[in-house]
Amino acid sequence: MKVLVPVKRVLDYNVKPRVKADGTGVDLANVKMSMNPFDEIAVEEAIRLKEKGVATEIIVVSIGEQKAQETLRTALAMGADRAILIVSEDRVEPLGVAKLLAKVAEEEQPGLVILGKQAIDDDNNQTGQMLGALLGWGQGTFASKVEVSGDSVEVTREVDGGLETVKLNIPAIVTTDLRLNEPRYASLPNIMKAKSKPLAQKTPADYGVDVTPRLTVVKVAEPAKRTAGVKVADVDELVMKLKAMGVAK
Amino acid sequence: MTVLVWVEHDNASVKDATLAAVTAAGKLGDVVALVAGQGAQGAADAAAKIAGVSKVLLADDAAYGHALAENVAPLIVDLMSDYDAFVAPATTTGKNIAPRVAALLDVMQLSEVLSIEGDQFTRPIYAGNAIATVTSSDAKKVLTIRGTAFDKAATEGGSASVETVSGMGDKGLSRFVGAEIAKSERPELTSAKVIVSGGRALQSGENFHSIIEPLADKLGAAVGASRAAVDAGYVPNDYQVGQTGKIVAPEVYVAIGISGAIQHLAGMKDSKTIIAINKDEDAPIFQVADLGLVGDLFKVVPELTEKL
């Protein structure tokens, strides 16, 4: 079966986001961008399924500006077979992304779509679930283990309080959590090889999808600064304060 | 406006996260609570007593027993013809279900809402390093609520009626296989009121167990770790608190031997009170800590554990 892996180009997780002085957003000019960490885990999982003989082809897809090509090339260098870039210079919300991905899924007929559980820029944690809804497929969100057998997939999910396992009919949606795997690094020869792998370019209009945002960002601000705390002299003072706060008896 | 609130429950009682969602929903309008489950009459009765809830809908069916999104979302969508907003706590259950509801309603969800002022909502982006104020043009709103951002509604004082509703039952897309819930006595990281976290300075997994865990047990706290401690193999990576790990906002967060790198702060700086224990008095963690103790954790933490 084919596996479809959507990937997003985001501000590198090591970079401290700076809110623009005019409050219109976070400054993304001249800062390091990379693949969303949860999407790296998704690509890795797809590659492992291919190595096990479960997946036959891995298609990576990204929606965003032209520069998202770099993110797709990274995924190709890790081991994906081909890429689709849906170019939009404007912001596309999870609902719009899910609608576009649903069209891609209808075209490509994958057995699994593996997404990251959330992108570390907008922190929405919506796209996978929305795609599940639009396609009418089952969803295994926050996956820490994925096992395909025949026409179903068992997904172990990280839930509040522990783990939960669900069995889904294939085709299905999986979203990755941190514990699923350790993504590989692309080797130099594979980075070179990735340059010649196919990368198709599309637009939202090619799929007939209206991606007009439903949410308007009024402003983006720095979070409230925490007020400076106090240093305690010794353990006794700390114990006293903890008791005063009701944390300790 | 009438608001449908997802109730998180264990069939007999209502979980805390729901109470904050009720408060948030109350800012939008009249609150109706939805209890979906199997054998959940007890939870419905408990929900009826929550202050601010005007009615409880009980959907009792084997299909809703494990809150599978594939089965629950169509039930909610069906009910939503009578409501203007759907509000769920931003727990793993809420996060799993709400976007599926939103897409079926063809609306954009507002995730992890921190405040509601008129038609404006605030929510954290970039792991809490920025706060976005947004408005929605959708006719119906779907929200998940960050539990620590709203006061909890009182569990007594309400006297709502319980009404039974039915849905379409099992969609046959998924089924529950099993669950492995908290092997330890410790609370779960993302819902804990107190968290004790350790960093690289612990030097080994043995030290982590012998120093961090006894303190956590004394405080009834969950145990967390920095990425450095996870990468060094002291603890498994489901302990990781930070931008790519778990984002937590407990009442009290105790950071031990954690310098306070931005990726770690991103995961815990919304905690109500932060306590830092570190031997380096210039460590960045002290810039966000409400209470700081400069000292050698190998001496200070066992002493603290003993004196509590």
Looking at the partner chain, which of A136, A144, A231 has a beta carbon nearest the beta carbon of B292? A231
How close, in Å, is residue B39 to chain A by CA atoms? 20
pLDDT at A160: 83
Please, are residues A132 and A22 in contact by the beta-carbon 8 Å criterion? Answer: no
Structure tokens at B234: 């002291």
- Give the strands of the sheet with B291-294, arranged side by side: A230-232, B291-294, B273-278, B252-256, B194-198, B222-225
Looking at the partner chain, which of A133, A139, A220 has a beta carbon nearest the beta carbon of B104? A133
Rounded CA separation B20/B154 (Å):
10
pLDDT at B292: 96
Asked if the Cβ–Cβ distance from B108 to A214 is below 8 Å, we say yes
Chain A (97-116) residues lying within 8 Å, Cβ to Cβ, of chain B: 98
Class of the CATH domain delimited by B2-164: alpha beta
How many other C-beta atoms lie within 10 A of the C-beta of residue B166? 11
Asked if the Cβ–Cβ distance from A129 to B289 is below 8 Å, we say no
End-to-end CA distance of chain A: 58
Determine phi and psi for B160, rounding to 5 degrees.
-80, 155
How many other C-beta atoms lie within 10 A of the C-beta of residue B281? 10
Pairing of strands A138-149, A152-159: antiparallel
- The string of pLDDT tens digits covering residues A16-25 is 899 999 999 9
Q: What is the mean pLDDT of residues A5-22?
A: 94
pLDDT of residue B271 exceeding 80, the answer is yes
How many other C-beta atoms lie within 10 A of the C-beta of residue B70? 25
- The string of pLDDT tens digits covering residues B20-74 is 999 999 999 999 999 999 999 999 999 999 999 999 999 999 999 999 999 999 9
Please tell me if residue A16 touches chain B, with a CB cutoff of 8 Å.
yes
Rounded CA separation A190/A78 (Å):
7
- The string of pLDDT tens digits covering residues B155-209 is 999 999 999 998 888 999 999 999 987 666 788 888 888 999 999 999 999 999 9
SS3 sequence of A105-172: HHHHCCCEEEEECCCCCCCCCCHHHHHHHHHCCEEEEEEEEEEEECCEEEEEEEECCEEEEEEEECCE
Asked if the Cβ–Cβ distance from B137 to A126 is below 8 Å, we say no
CATH 3.40.50.620 domain position(s) in chain B:
2-164
Percent of chain A with pLDDT over 90: 89
Dihedral class, residue B67 (left if φ above 0, else alpha if ψ from -120 to 50, else beta): left
Strand partners, A4: A59, A113
pLDDT at A227: 78
Residue A75: exposure state from Cβ atoms within 10 A (0-12, 13-18, ≥19) = buried
Contacts of A137 in chain B (CB under 8 A): 173
CATH 3.40.50.1220 domain position(s) in chain B:
194-307
Task: Please tell me which residue, B183 or A35, carries the higher pLDDT value.
Answer: A35
Task: Please tell me which residue, A14 or A146, carries the higher pLDDT value.
Answer: A146
Sign of CA dihedral A169, A171, A173, A179: positive
Residue B198: exposure state from Cβ atoms within 10 A (0-12, 13-18, ≥19) = buried
Please tell me if residue A212 touches chain B, with a CB cutoff of 8 Å.
no
Contacts of B126 in chain A (CB under 8 A): 11, 17, 26, 120-121, 123
Chain A (41-60) residues lying within 8 Å, Cβ to Cβ, of chain B: none
Determine phi and psi for A141, rounding to 5 degrees.
-90, 160
pLDDT of residue A53 exceeding 80, the answer is yes
Which residue ranges of B make up the annotated binding site? 200, 226-227, 240-244, 257-264, 278
Please tell me if residue A231 touches chain B, with a CB cutoff of 8 Å.
yes
Class of the CATH domain delimited by B194-307: alpha beta
pLDDT of residue B98 exceeding 80, the answer is yes
Asked if the Cβ–Cβ distance from A130 to B112 is below 8 Å, we say no
- The string of pLDDT tens digits covering residues A154-164 is 999 998 878 99
Asked if the Cβ–Cβ distance from A26 to B125 is below 8 Å, we say yes
Residue A205: exposure state from Cβ atoms within 10 A (0-12, 13-18, ≥19) = exposed
The H or E element spanning position B181 is strand B174-181
Rounded CA separation A151/A130 (Å):
22
Write down all domains in chain A, each with its CATH number in brackets.
2-245 (3.40.50.620)
pLDDT at B184: 67
- String of b and e for A86-111 (b: at least 16 CB within 10 Å)? bbbeeebbbbbbbbbbbbbbeeeebb
How close, in Å, is residue B128 to chain A by CA atoms? 7
Dihedral class, residue B169 (left if φ above 0, else alpha if ψ from -120 to 50, else beta): left
Asked if the Cβ–Cβ distance from A93 to B219 is below 8 Å, we say no
Looking at the partner chain, which of B108, B123, B269 has a beta carbon nearest the beta carbon of A93? B108
Looking at the partner chain, which of A94, A154, A235 has a beta carbon nearest the beta carbon of B304? A235
Contacts of B225 in chain A (CB under 8 A): none
Please tell me if residue A134 touches chain B, with a CB cutoff of 8 Å.
yes
Please, are residues A5 and A128 in contact by the beta-carbon 8 Å criterion? Answer: no
Confidence tier at B264 by pLDDT (50, 70, 90): very high
Strand partners, A33: A11
Indicate if ipTM > 0.90: yes
pLDDT at B188: 83
Asked if the Cβ–Cβ distance from B174 to A138 is below 8 Å, we say yes
Structure tokens at B244: 């790519």
Asked if the Cβ–Cβ distance from B289 to A223 is below 8 Å, we say no
Give the DSSP letter string of A47-83. HHHHHTTS-SEEEEEEEESTTHHHHHHHHHHHT--EE
pLDDT at B182: 63
**What is the pLDDT of chain A when averaged over all its residues?**
95
How close, in Å, is residue A202 to chain B by CA atoms? 23
Alpha carbons within 13 A on the beta-carbon side of A129: 31
Rounded CA separation B63/B49 (Å):
26
